[in-house]
Amino acid sequence: AAGVIQSPRHLIKEKRETATLKCYPIPRHDTVYWYQQGPGQDPQFLISFYEKMQSDKGSIPDRFSAQQFSDYHSELNMSSLELGDSALYFCASSVPGEPEGTQYFGPGTRLLVL
């Protein structure tokens, strides 16, 4: 069965650079969530999109922006990268109204900022 795809899987950037992470939800899933998990930390919710509109906002820094496109894939844009942005970034997708409402997680993008 198709799963959530994230790219790239690994990314190394330097301070003050920009990065773009991509998430491709499971086919027919119209909701995408982004989470950040720092080293040794529990995941923190960043932002979510439903039908290409921002749905909920968590602890996303102002330096980050995200959007969902017409094919439902989503991109997380990160600018002026800081050392503290080094983390594992998860994307999840779900279908609102699905009886279970389960979020299906991608494998994550591991970002290292040097």
Cβ proximity to another protein: between 8 and 16 the closer is 8
Cβ proximity to another protein: between 22 and 52 the closer is 52
Instruction: State the Cα–Cα distance between residues 64 and 62, nearest whole angstrom.
Output: 5
- Residue 35 as a binder of another protein (CB under 8 A): the answer is yes
Name residue 65's beta-bridge partners: 77
Cβ at position 61, least distance to another protein in Å: 15
Q: Are 16 and 85 in contact (CB under 8 A)?
A: no
Residues that bind another protein (CB under 8 A): 31, 33, 35, 37, 42-50, 55-56, 58, 88, 90, 94, 96, 100-105, 107-108, 110
